[in-house]
Amino acid sequence: MDDKKTKIRTFLARFSRNHQISDDADIFASGTVHSLVALQLISFIEKEFEIVVADEDLEPENFRSINNIVAFIERKAAALLRPPVMA
Amino acid sequence: MQVEFSSQQRQQRERFRSFVQEHICPCAADWDRQEAISSEIIEQLRSHGYLGCLVSGIRGEPVDAITYGLLTEEIARGCSSVRSLLTVQDMVALGICRWGSSELKDEFGAAIGNGELLCGLAISEPETGSDASNVKTEARREGDEYVLCGRKKWITFGQIADLLLVLARFEDKPTAFLVPRTAPGFTRRPLKGLLGVKASMLAEIEFNGCRIPRRYLVGKPGFGYSHVIATTLDLGRYSVAWGAVGIIQACLDSCLEYTAKRKQFGVEIQEHQLIRRKLTEMIAAVRAARLLCCRAGYLRDRKDPAAVPETLVAKYFASKAAVRSASDAVQLHGANGLSDEFPVSRYLRDAKVTEIIEGSTQIQQITIPQCPLPEL
């Protein structure tokens, strides 16, 4: 988990003029993330953590803070590992 | 680092070039005068698999970002209005493919991908241009429907689009919807008299209590601008950047031909040093712009987040270079350059448009320093 946090923090630091971003800080409210960064954040999460962010994942809570992003990535990764439910 | 097109990309480019030479170049001036492209060229684009090809591929063959760029460049070399048809079709296709529900993809994906449904992107409004996240068009829920009220302006191919991706406010949050032209309360009127890209059949669109099913929401409320529209605009900038490269190449081709034939003071004007200087600047501009576009395309294919800022830079540079090159092309043609008997005046008008659409040069100047670029 710490490794994920570090990667996300390092990525976001490029857009926050290297100001320290705490793990529970609201990255949208702080202005770190605008639409161009939001797009890059999605690409980064998908490429770095090998998940796909789908339309149903577009919830503010999933991306609000470093902690929330990590929790989201872990939920997605766990869902990938779960066997499909047979009808 | 290797910078060269694959043999497949070169072959595709030859095919695109032949298509443009046969179906677009002979008609582009007429379309510009008539302020409309023909239904025949739309059919040709469909039958060759070019409309919506970024998402659906060309006749089943996947299209990488560079090949898509080469297609866009070649088409813009012939006619920027046709290029804008491709651009907007792929922008909407990508927006739905990326952020639409599986239900929406099932309903519209194939028909958009093969060009059967023509798409429009409705963001700008009479009072809202660059500040797109603050659109005034409103949506409200009524039972199983959304009801849209508002006006959109400068909608590329809005005169003939079958399906529009619309940015509106829902519960005061930017939200994207799909609106078919057949939806009740949908009206449109043509916009004429533009400076450039005159044949792109712009329209003003009114949503007067326009009703659409609930399933036509794209993405989630609040993510309409930051994700759905931002995704489409990112592709739009990529496409316009390549389109600007096509304009520069067209300027260069026209100037090389003209200056080799035109004689003044007893020699072909290309023998004059000041003419050669302008040709040199054009040659350098087209190569630099194309390389920036290739770099952005390379990153897009790798799904690298840096594709976003690299695309901004490519679009910024290519559109400015296109205006400069087209202005020089008119200058090199002298009085002939002012006439519509030569294509360079059209190139200049079309080039200017690339500096305004999908983020103006000034907006790029604000945003590029905010988006760190990877080291080259």
**pLDDT value at position A18?**
62
Which tens digits make up the pLDDT trace of B122-165?
999 998 887 877 899 999 999 999 999 999 999 999 999 999 99
Residue A36 to residue B312, Cβ atoms within 8 A: yes
Kindly tell me if the per-residue pLDDT of A87 is higher than 60. Answer: no
Token couple for A79:
């869902």
Kindly tell me if the per-residue pLDDT of A81 is higher than 90. Answer: no
Q: Return d(Cα B315, Cα B310) in angstroms, integer.
A: 9
**pLDDT value at position A68?**
96
Which tens digits make up the pLDDT trace of B290-315?
999 999 999 999 999 999 999 999 99
Nearest beta carbon to residue A58 from set B219, B303, B306 = B219
Minimal Cα–Cα distance from B275 to chain A, Å? 41
Average pLDDT over chain B reads 96
Q: What is the ipTM of this complex?
A: 0.89
3-state secondary structure of B122: strand
Which tens digits make up the pLDDT trace of B92-131?
999 999 999 999 999 999 999 999 999 999 999 998 887 8
Which tens digits make up the pLDDT trace of B181-240?
999 999 999 999 999 999 999 999 999 999 999 999 999 999 999 999 999 999 999 999
CB atoms within 10 A of CB B282: 24
Kindly tell me if the per-residue pLDDT of B270 is higher than 80. Answer: yes
Q: Are B121 and B228 within 8 A, CB to CB?
A: no
The pTM (predicted TM-score) of the whole model is: 0.95
Mean of pLDDT values over B87-92: 98
**pLDDT value at position B106?**
95
Task: Report the residue of A36, A45, A62 to disrupt the B interface, i.e. the one with the largest count of B CBs within 10 Å.
Answer: A36
Cβ-based contacts under 8 A for chains A and B: 61
Q: State phi, psi for B238 to the nearest 5 degrees.
A: -60, -45
**pLDDT value at position B373?**
87
Give the helix/strand (H/E) hosting B84. Answer: helix B80-99
Q: One-letter amino acid identity for B334?
A: G
Q: Return d(Cα B62, Cα B39) in angstroms, integer.
A: 26
Q: How far is CA B72 from CA B120, B240, B252, B301, B350, in A?
A: 18, 8, 17, 16, 14
Q: Check if B308 contacts A (Cβ < 8 Å).
A: yes
B358 versus A29: which is more confidently predicted?
Answer: B358
Across the strands, what pairs with B121?
B165
Mean of pLDDT values over B336-354: 97
Contacts of A49 in chain B (CB under 8 A): none
Kindly tell me if the per-residue pLDDT of A33 is higher than 80. Answer: no
Residue A47 to residue B225, Cβ atoms within 8 A: no
**pLDDT value at position A35?**
79
**pLDDT value at position A84?**
61
Q: State phi, psi for B247 to the nearest 5 degrees.
A: -65, -45
Token couple for B51:
């409309």
CB atoms within 10 A of CB A45: 25
**pLDDT value at position A85?**
60
Residue A35 to residue B225, Cβ atoms within 8 A: yes
3-state secondary structure of B26: coil
pLDDT above 90 coverage of chain B, percent: 92
Task: Report the residue of A18, A34, A43 to disrupt the B interface, i.e. the one with the largest count of B CBs within 10 Å.
Answer: A43
Q: B334: Cβ–Cβ under 8 A, 6 or more apart, which residues?
A: none
Lowest mean pLDDT among B48-62, B146-160, B169-183, B285-299: B48-62
Strand residue runs (E) in chain A: none
pLDDT bin (cut points 50, 70, 90) of residue B365 is: very high
**pLDDT value at position A16?**
80
Instruction: For residue A18, give the chain B residue with the closest CA.
Output: B372
